[in-house]
Amino acid sequence: MTAPQDPGTPAPDPRDQAPSSAQDPHGAPASAEDPRIARIHEALEAVIDPEIGRPITELDMVDSVTIDAAGTAEVTILVTIAACPMRDRLERSTAEATATVPGLAGVKVDSRAMTDEQRKALTTRLRQGHRQIPFNKPGTLTRILAVSSGKGGVGKSTVTANLAAAMAAQGLSVGVIDADIHGFSMPGMFGITDKPTKVGDLLMPPEAHGVKVMSIGMFVPDGQAVVWRGPKMHRAIEQFASDVFWGELDVLLLDLPPGTGDVAISVAQLLPKAQMLVVTTPQVSAASVAERVGSLAKATKQDVAGVVENMSGLVLPDGSRMDVFGTGGGERVAETLAGAVEHPVPVLGQVPLDPRLREGADGGVPLVLSDPEQPAAQQLRAIAAALVARPRGLSGMRLPLSVRG
């Protein structure tokens, strides 16, 4: 599995040639009724494709299983494309699983790339037959949080990355869409340098720190600007939501660009169940700008999950606190947003000003992972826990209930 191929595509792997006959020179191979073959298939149910996150047996990636006359099991698996970066890992996992079956003299594992027809069948299976945004399907329990701010420079992207990493550390399945097309930053904040893997017309998002991430920055050469207007940005967000195999996510976070422009409106249209999470600073001017998000939420009929006050004071070496950017901004924004959405909006946390947050973002390891006991990291972890602890609504879902007379 790899990203869209470039002119430097490697030569075909000889393992991708069609397998030869399974006949062994030492005698006739075991028949298909051999109970060991059935046990091998059962053992392979534990082998999970690391990018898709499903058993290779479920994905029809087990091409053949035979046992020769000497008792050696020969397993051939399918990988999506010739340059699959997980190929060796899958072969090792397959060999280890097969070796757990008793009565085998040895194990041989080979792999080959899927044909175009097999890749198409896999893509159809992953899409469940339809090209749509999976998060809009009835019954989905994925919580969608659109992280926004009234202006730039308030640490919105840093908050997004740390919340995502904190949620993943809690054992949740988490994805991040870098919706800030012109100012993308998520790949760097997660230390991601790989490109998405392309399988048919689906993309497999790179993963770091347990978080799946998709960003236009993964396709743009260093130093090159993205010169797009509204319609093209809308299409990019739509593709990130519909043409990426996210799997069963517990939480999807979108890092929106500052303000209330095209992308924020597109997200409201494409992901109507998304809740807004507003990041501000204690500064009065930043808070007054963030309040405009309330008018957007009211116009697009989006709910607001809460407010995060970032850069909320600097703890000095003597233990005292310096309010570098003033106080009260978070509470002010929350009160204004509450009036727009007509229900209380909580201030979920106040993250202190800490240079290590910036260092973590620059180094590709969020502070909640690199130094989780720091006050800023503790506050971000508490915000993440509060967000995922809130019950997910069942409104509009069909429940498996029956009435007996």
152 is in an annotated binding site: yes
Amino acid making up residue 268: A
Q: Find out whether 368 and 377 touch, Cβ atoms under 8 Å.
A: yes
Amino acid making up residue 139: G
Q: Given the structure tokens 């909006």, which residue do they identify?
A: 345
150 is in an annotated binding site: yes
21 is in an annotated binding site: no
Query: Around Cβ 268, how many Cβ atoms within 10 Å?
Result: 18
Quick one: DSSP state of residue 5?
A: P
279 is in an annotated binding site: no
53 is in an annotated binding site: no
156 is in an annotated binding site: yes
- Measure the CA–CA gap between 85 and 53, rounded to whole angstroms: 15
Cα–Cα distances in Å, from 401 out to 75, 393, 394?
Answer: 44, 17, 14
- Measure the CA–CA gap between 301 and 273, rounded to whole angstroms: 10
Number of H helices, E strands in the chain: 13, 15
Q: Find out whether 217 and 184 touch, Cβ atoms under 8 Å.
A: yes
First to last CA, the chain: 55
- Measure the CA–CA gap between 262 and 286, rounded to whole angstroms: 20
Q: What tokens were used for 6?
A: 């470039």
What are the binding residues?
150-157
What are the binding residues for ATP?
150-157
